[in-house]
Amino acid sequence: MSNPFVYEPIEKKRNIFMDVFQALVIALTINVVIYFLFLIPSQVDGPSMLPTLENSELLFANKIPTWFYSNIPQLKSMNMDYKRGDIIIFDYQNIVLVKRIIACEGDEIYFSNGDVYVNDKKLTEEYLPAGLQTQLPNRGLRYFEEGERIIVPAGDFFVMGDNRPNSKDSRFSDVRFVDRNNIKGIVFFRFWPLSKLGVIQEGVYIETVE
């Protein structure tokens, strides 16, 4: 004969509650670990990345290359290292800048008639407005001269903003190359404004031999 006092369902409800609570704690812990180890939030400050990124937009950057490249060199062969076309955030004189990688360590870069050449190939950067030219800063501010070929040192990157007429970047003598150790991550997701919520695609460019 069954017990008229029904205790088992109450116990089952308690167990279900504990299971849900434990699942939430585990999920929250995983999210916190992912956030602190692999993601870093950042805010666009200024117009230097227009039209790709606008002032005050909020971004997430991926810290995987920053954390693991020195310990797992296989990341480079897995195409997980910093590369041309990536938008990165990095430290510069106690502020964080957002720019795009144009040339990596060992690459040779020069400018001629408003065009960018990397390893003797002209870059057609499809993330830039049509017809936009890349000029050097005024004499005294620029790092190198028109047509001068420079090789990016080991561990460094050459970066520029997409808004080339209004971006302080590697073209300037007080910025020059960006050291790998100063890079905080690769921008991959925009979470504000909500109207633009989504993944930020890799920069596409075409190389032309002339």
Q: What is the mean pLDDT of each run of 10 residues along the chain (210 residues)?
A: 52 63 59 62 93 94 74 62 92 92 96 95 93 91 94 96 95 94 92 94 88
CB contact at 8 A, 69 and 75: yes
pLDDT attached to residue 39: 80
Predicted TM-score of the model (pTM): 0.81
pLDDT attached to residue 160: 97
Distances (CA, A) of 107 to 121, 156, 163, 199: 11, 10, 22, 28
pLDDT attached to residue 28: 58
Q: What domains can you pick out in the chain, each with its CATH number?
A: 8-209 (2.10.109.10)
pLDDT attached to residue 167: 95
Closest CA to 87 of 198, 185, 197: 185
pLDDT attached to residue 40: 84
pLDDT attached to residue 66: 72
